Structure 1
Amino acid sequence: MIKLIPASDHHAAKVGDWLQSNYLFSFADYYDPANVQFGPLRVFNHDRIKGRNGFPSHPHAEMEVVTVVLDGELTHTDNIGNDVTLNAGDVQRMTSGTGFTHSETNNSDKDTVILQLWFLPNKRGLAPSYEHMNLDFLDARNKLVPLVTGQKVLENVPFVNSNSTVYYGHVGQGEEIDFKTFKLRKTLVYVLTGGLLVNNVEAELNDQVRLEDQDIVSLHGNTEATFILVDVPATEVNY
């Protein structure tokens, strides 16, 4: 199964004059029973936060929260002692587990652009924890860069309590990358810039392609393009 979901079908949300967001799955005031999750991937939001604004302190529980900073900066403060400023190229993982409270604020004068992905954990009742790294992924050329993973074959990236991996990808015009997968897994590709052929399905800016029952995900650059690839299990125990 290969399903193209064009950008126009995403739910566009605006909070006051400070936040613009696209929701790829049901979230907040948007609910579609046919679009709740993709394996353990429960949330995928593409956010633009205006300067001197942000999300006030709020709680999470039993969720793996991943934040990818594409542009600008974001200050994270939580109730387990972390107070850090993330910059473009940084990736953050929060295990909310039994309960976690945090705020995310753009303290600069320019807009900040982030992706936020939430995964249902493969273990419940975990102690809250936090991790972030600068992976300098924005300089990638014709390759996939792992940003966060629960698959222990990958090292030196933040660990998420889900049998899933998130990649940032770049492909040049006319170039191609093949991602090897298994028919028991699912793949989501979200186009950040440019345009791709994903297993011969044309995907343009902010489109997404969801794939199941595949052995290879072929990513061909119609133009120079960047994208996010999320590799998840079709099912995952304990979530």
Structure 2
Amino acid sequence: MIKLIPASEQHNARVGDWLESRYLFSFADYYDPSNIQFGPLRALNHEWIKGRNGFPQHPHAEMEVVTVVMDGELTHKDSLNNEVVLKAGDVQRMTSGTGFTHSETNDTDNDTELLQLWFLPNKRGLAPSYENMNVDFLDAKDKLIPVVTGQKVLENVPFINSNSTVYYGHVSQGEGIDFKTFKIRKTLVYVLSGSMLINNVEADRNDQVRLESQDIVSLHGNAEATFILVDVPATEVNY
């Protein structure tokens, strides 16, 4: 199964004049019972935060929360006494587990662009924990770079408690990458820029393609393109 969801069919949300979000799954005031999750992937939000604004302290529980900073800066403060300024190329992983609180603010005068992904963890009741790392993915050329993973064999990548991996990818015009997968896995590709063919399905900026029961995900650049690829187990996690 290969399903294209064009940008025009996705949910756009605004909060005042300081936050613009693109929700790929049901989130906040957007609810679609047919679009709740994809395997353990529960949320994928593409967000732009205006300067001197952000999210005040708020709680999370029983979720792996991943933040990928694409541009600008994001200040994170949490109840585990972490205080970190994340910059473009940084990735943050939070295991909320039994519960913790945090804030996310853009304390600069410029916009911040980020992706935030939520995964249901492999098991409930984990102790809250935090990790951030500069993955230096933005200069990738014609390759996939893992930015967060549940595979312990991948080193120098933040670890999540989910049998899932998120990759940042780049393809030049006319070039391609083959991502090997299995029929017991699912793949979601979200196009950040440019235009590409994903198993011969054309996808442009902000389009997403969801694939199931594939052996190979073929990623070909119609024009130079960047994208996020999320590899997850086909079985949904439900609590």
What CA distance in whole angstroms lies between the structure 2 residues aligned with 1:87 and 1:226? 19
SS in 2 for 1:8: helix
Query: Residue 135 in 1 paired to residue 135 in 2?
Result: yes
Q: CA deviation at 1:228?
A: 0.1
Check whether the contact 2:168–2:227 (CA below 8 A) recurs between aligned residues.
Answer: yes
Q: CA deviation at 1:12?
A: 0.4
Partner of 1:155: 155
Partner of 2:88: 88
Q: CA deviation at 1:16?
A: 0.5
Q: List aligned pairs for 1:84-233, cutoff 5 A.
A: 84-233=84-233
Q: CA deviation at 1:133?
A: 0.3
Quick one: structure 1 residues 26 and 173, their matched pair in 2 at CA, closer, same or farther if it must change by over 3 Å? same
SS in 2 for 1:97: coil
SS in 2 for 1:81: coil
Q: CA deviation at 1:25?
A: 0.2
What amino acid sits opposite 2:204 in the alignment? E
Check whether the contact 2:40–2:237 (CA below 8 A) recurs between aligned residues.
Answer: no
For 1:120-174, what per-residue CA distance to the aligned partner results, in whole angstroms no more than 9, with x for missing partners? 0001100000000001100000000000000122111000000000000000000
What amino acid sits opposite 1:154 in the alignment? L
What CA distance in whole angstroms lies between the structure 2 residues aligned with 1:103 and 1:20? 17
What amino acid sits opposite 2:26 in the alignment? S
Check whether the contact 1:150–1:162 (CA below 8 A) recurs between aligned residues.
Answer: yes
Check whether the contact 2:144–2:170 (CA below 8 A) recurs between aligned residues.
Answer: yes
What CA distance in whole angstroms lies between the structure 2 residues aligned with 1:238 and 1:128? 20
What amino acid sits opposite 1:112 in the alignment? T
SS in 1 for 2:183: coil
What CA distance in whole angstroms lies between the structure 2 residues aligned with 1:50 and 1:188? 28
Q: CA deviation at 1:236?
A: 5.5
What amino acid sits opposite 2:27 in the alignment? F
What CA distance in whole angstroms lies between the structure 1 residues aligned with 2:120 and 2:219? 27
SS in 2 for 1:203: strand
- What RMSD over aligned residues (CA atoms) do the two structures have, in Å? 0.8
What amino acid sits opposite 2:200 in the alignment? N
What CA distance in whole angstroms lies between the structure 2 residues aligned with 1:211 and 1:236? 15
SS in 2 for 1:209: strand
For 1:166-213, what per-residue CA distance to the aligned partner results, in whole angstroms no more than 9, with x for missing partners? 000000000000000000000000000001100000000000000000
What CA distance in whole angstroms lies between the structure 1 residues aligned with 2:4 and 2:181? 19
Partner of 2:235: 235
Partner of 1:48: 48
State the identity %: 82
Which of structure 1's runs of 4+ aligned residues deviate more than 3 A?
A: 236-239
Check whether the contact 1:165–1:231 (CA below 8 A) recurs between aligned residues.
Answer: yes
Check whether the contact 1:163–1:236 (CA below 8 A) recurs between aligned residues.
Answer: no
What amino acid sits opposite 1:116 in the alignment? Q
For 1:78-121, what per-residue CA distance to the aligned partner results, in whole angstroms no more than 9, with x for missing partners? 00010000000000000000001000000000000000000000
Number of residue pairs the alignment of both structures matches: 239
**TM-score relative to the length of structure 2:** 0.99
Check whether the contact 1:124–1:238 (CA below 8 A) recurs between aligned residues.
Answer: no
What CA distance in whole angstroms lies between the structure 2 residues aligned with 1:235 and 1:104? 31
What CA distance in whole angstroms lies between the structure 2 residues aligned with 1:33 and 1:121? 21
What amino acid sits opposite 1:138 in the alignment? L
What CA distance in whole angstroms lies between the structure 1 residues aligned with 2:151 and 2:115? 21
What CA distance in whole angstroms lies between the structure 1 residues aligned with 2:9 and 2:20? 16
Question: Any unmatched runs of 5+ in structure 2?
Answer: none
